[in-house]
Amino acid sequence: MVAPRLAFEGISKAFPGVKALSDVSFEVRPGEIHALLGENGAGKSTLLRILSGVFRPTEGEVKVDGVVQTLRKPEDARRAGIAMIHQELQQVPHLTVAQNMFLGHSLKRLGGLLVDRREQERRAAEALAMIDPTIDPSAPISTLKVAQRQVVEIARALLDKAKIIAMDEPTSSLTPSEFDRLAEVIERLAASGVSIIYVSHKMDEVFRVCERATVMRDGKVVGMGVDLRKTAQRDVIAMMVGRELLSEAHHSHATATVCLEARNLTTHRVRDVSFTLRKGEVLGVAGLVGSGRTELLRAISGADRVTSGTVTVDGAPLALSNPRAAIAAGIGLLPEERKREGIIPGRSVTSNMALPSMARFSRAGIINHRKLNRTAEDLLKRVNLRPFLLDRQIKLFSGGNQQKAIIARWLAAGSRILLFDEPTRGIDVGAKSEIYHLIEDLAKEGHSIIVVSSELLEVMRVADRVLVMRDGAIVAELGRDQLSEETIVSHAVGNTGSRVGAA
């Protein structure tokens, strides 16, 4: 039998008032792509922080090639041959791509007096060429899209030539074609003997690239060495959530009443876009990263400057490039980058919920805390916030519960038109199911919703209609009877020349 490359033996981790991990044990073989699965809060991130030297276990040991490792800090993990790709990007915006990739261990010249930027850029280009050679190592990292910045993180891990690479949601912002390239890289790394720990909520990806899985729930291992070639997805999901998630047929609640209409809308990234949104409708927007999906929602919400075109809400013209006007017209945006643009991390979930509607809870500058707390309690119960701790800092909640709080924010503001940009990115399968049901419930109540998603199955699951964008323009409008992954992708990449059903 092959000796394990990595072994967790009896790992436990306690924080004040909570035991995050309890007696976690499993092994990863040399050259194995091993999935670590579980809902948010299952303990995966805590375990990876122990592996990367950020946390120290309360009990237990980590072994690499049979040798017990003392991982007191990230540099210890790096010396042990362990690299970590974090879900949250570990980057400095004003530095270049290459500088970020060598952050903490710059290459020096002239006896260590100067940073060898030319050599850093050369090596960075070599690593990037394995995944995306179009990224310029000398470009400021802040000029890159989210997906490109994620690719940089992956290339940064490749630079260290690690024996073990832990990937925490590495494809959360990648397109299907970018994932295909990443999968090839992962498979080449595994073939060379590198062990991969792969954390993802995208089960199709997991089953494509991984051989075995360890499944966690509530800080414990509930499935060890699960052979993914012999196990159905539904059985793995049932292990993760402790119950079976029932798939449900799509139900449309769209009416004939048009609540929003865009005509010839143009921004720096959107070109001459026209479409309508009906009351109770869920309108999907698909396309490759960079196609203009996010910019379309930002234009409607007033976040980006509109250079030409019009938007009307219930027949009344909307003052464009004005977020206050959009909010007053009943438009609420759930942004793509939730932690940077959607929340104030150090404030309570109640404070975050009330951000755009505080005037409703104030008189003469004095906040009516009783009214605020009553509204927060009602709305956060409605979206099923867990745990139900309204004064807790929102940064301490899982991604799915942060999304629920943002949805509650716009319900508190009285928004009737909701713009959801990647609503389930980085969210586990159980929370995804809840978000899908919440979208349908809101549509049933008469809200109108636009959903942008990189996951085609997600768009097809929730949408009544789908707009496909390419190069800033709408190139197709597809009804539910026209929806298939092949059809959406063919329009998104330009394999078909005709526009279908233009709005």
Most confident of 128-142, 146-160, 241-255, 312-326: 312-326
Q: 219-233, 340-354, 428-442 — which is least confidently predicted?
A: 428-442
What is the mean pLDDT of the segment spanning 18-47? 92
Q: Which two tokens stand for residue 108?
A: 């020096």
Q: Is the dihedral of CA 37, 42, 44, 45 positive or negative?
A: positive
Tell me if 405 sits within 8 A of 385, measured CB to CB: yes
Q: Give Cα separations from 167 to 44, 195, 248 (angstroms).
A: 11, 11, 31
Q: Rounded distance, CA 433 to CA 147, Å?
A: 24
Residue 42 pLDDT > 60: yes
Percent of the chain with pLDDT over 70: 96
Helix (H) or strand (E) holding 149: helix 146-159
Q: Rounded distance, CA 28 to CA 435, Å?
A: 33
Q: 178-182, 219-223, 365-369 — which is least confidently predicted?
A: 178-182
Most confident of 16-20, 396-400, 412-416: 412-416
DSSP secondary structure string for all residues of 25-36: EEEE-TT-EEEE
- Residue 502, pLDDT score: 34
Q: Rounded distance, CA 192 to CA 463, Å?
A: 42
What is the mean pLDDT of the segment spanning 121-134? 90
More confident residue, 240 or 226: 226
The answer to whether 6-241 and 253-330+416-503 have equal CATH topology is yes
Q: Where are the domains of the chain?
A: 6-241, 253-330+416-503, 345-414
3 state DSSP class of 451: strand
- Residue 248, pLDDT score: 67
3 state DSSP class of 51: helix
Mean pLDDT of the chain: 90
pTM of this structure: 0.68
What is the mean pLDDT of the segment spanning 156-178? 81
Torsion of CA 91, 95, 101, 103, to 10 degrees: -80
What CATH superfamily classification does 253-330+416-503 receive?
Answer: P-loop containing nucleotide triphosphate hydrolases (3.40.50.300)
Q: Give Cα separations from 170 to 138, 154, 412, 478 (angstroms).
A: 23, 7, 34, 30
6-241 has CATH 3.40.50.261 classification: no
pLDDT tens-digit map of 186-239:
898 899 899 999 998 888 899 999 999 999 998 999 999 999 999 998 899 889
- Residue 245, pLDDT score: 59
Residue 499 pLDDT > 50: no
- Residue 182, pLDDT score: 82
- Residue 189, pLDDT score: 86
Query: Which letter does DSSP use for residue 242 in this model?
Result: S
DSSP secondary structure string for all residues of 298-335: HHHTTSS---EEEEEETTEEP-TT-HHHHHHTTEEEE-
Residue 503 pLDDT > 50: no
Q: Rounded distance, CA 48 to CA 82, Å?
A: 11
Q: Is the dihedral of CA 269, 275, 279, 283 positive or negative?
A: negative
Residue 90 pLDDT > 90: no
- Residue 454, pLDDT score: 85
Q: In the structure, what pLDDT confidence band is assigned to residue 496 with cuts at 50, 70 and 90?
A: low
More confident residue, 500 or 443: 443
